[in-house]
Structure 1
Amino acid sequence: MFKNLVITCVLGMLAIVLGAFGAHALKEVLTATELSSFETAVRYQMYHVIVLLFVNIYDGFTILQKNKISYVFFFGILLFSGSIYAIHLTSITAKSIWFVTPLGGLTLMIGWVLMIMIFLKKHRKSK
């Protein structure tokens, strides 16, 4: 769990750094559409960092559940936000990795479904 919180904090810090970089350094480099895409990557990263903080401090999850949820969200952030960053900050083209961003979005959704399943299972046990 400690490792999950450290990784979460690093991802949160990176979201701030990349958001500031996008707002200042990339404003003159990217088109409005590209900048909007970059901002979406930062926003989704930060949303999921907040969820990861909740997951890893919530006493209702077991250590195994916290790890499963965290790894799914870590991987989803890497694929979703990471692919968008790669497209806008490197010479990698969207055509060459077109499938990675939606796969990342699907992975983030799987993280949410995993939490739903855990909550439903807990609710059934409490009845």
Structure 2
Amino acid sequence: MRIWLFLGGLNGLLAVAAGAYGWHWLEVSNPVIRDTFLMGSDYQMWHALALLAVAWLASRQTAESGESGRQGSGAIAIRIAGLAFAIGIVLFSGSLYAIGLIGTIPDINAAPAGGVCLIIGWAALIWAAVVRA
């Protein structure tokens, strides 16, 4: 699916831009705050790569489903993984970016929910591998 390729590329681009901003322009008095911001960039990049893997798996799944267009639980797991990664990036990395930009943990910290989404994404990829075997 092209959406996963688009989201993977977009998140890779944003992760590089955020990393450059964090290293070169983010002015904070506490190095832990900068490290937190940069951790957001790292996680965003790793999960951008995961979205690219989802794009590849989705394209293979589509090719293998053939003329029937019938998709099994492996295809569903791949879609769940992509959605979970996309939501997880926004919540987890977004929260870490917010900490870096405002200098403190915000009242609404979505990082734990984002982390759970990222874990669900990886679990869904495992599910896709198991049901395909």
TM-based fold match above 0.5: yes
Q: Which consecutive residues of structure 1, in runs of 5 or more, have no partner in the other structure?
A: none
Q: Is the 8 A contact 1:22 1:38 kept in 2?
A: yes
- Structure 1 match to 2:28: 29
- Structure 1 match to 2:132: 122
Cα deviation digits, residues 61-94 of structure 1 (max 9, x gap)? 7654443221110000000001111222247x51
- Structure 1 match to 2:49: 50
- Structure 2 match to 1:97: 108
> Aligned ranges for residues 53-72 of structure 1 at < 5 Å?
53-58=52-57, 59-60=60-61, 64-72=76-84
Number of aligned residue pairs? 120
Question: Aligned partners of 2:49 and 2:10: how far apart in 1?
Answer: 12
Q: Which consecutive residues of structure 2, in runs of 5 or more, have no partner in the other structure?
A: 63-70
Question: Aligned partners of 1:89 and 1:32: how far apart in 2?
Answer: 13
After superposition, the Cα gap between the structure-2 partners of 1:67 and 1:10, relative to the gap in structure 1 and judged at 3 Å, is same
Question: Aligned partners of 1:77 and 1:23: how far apart in 2?
Answer: 20
SS at match of 2:98: helix
Question: What is the TM-score of this pair, normalised by structure 1?
Answer: 0.83
Q: Is the 8 A contact 2:12 2:48 kept in 1?
A: yes
> Structure 2 counterpart of 1:110, which letter?
I
- Structure 2 match to 1:10: 10
Cα deviation digits, residues 29-49 of structure 1 (max 9, x gap)? 252111111111110110011
Aligned CA-pair RMSD: 2.0
Moved segments of 4+, more than 2 Å = 60-68
- Structure 2 match to 1:87: 99
Larger mean Cα displacement after TM superposition, 40-49 or 53-62: 53-62
> Structure 1 counterpart of 2:13, which letter?
M
Question: Aligned partners of 2:42 and 2:29: how far apart in 1?
Answer: 17
With CA pairs under 8 Å and 6+ residues apart, which has the higher RCO, 1 or 2? 2
Question: What is the TM-score of this pair, normalised by structure 2?
Answer: 0.80
Question: Aligned partners of 2:96 and 2:33: how far apart in 1?
Answer: 9
Question: Aligned partners of 2:76 and 2:120: how far apart in 1?
Answer: 16
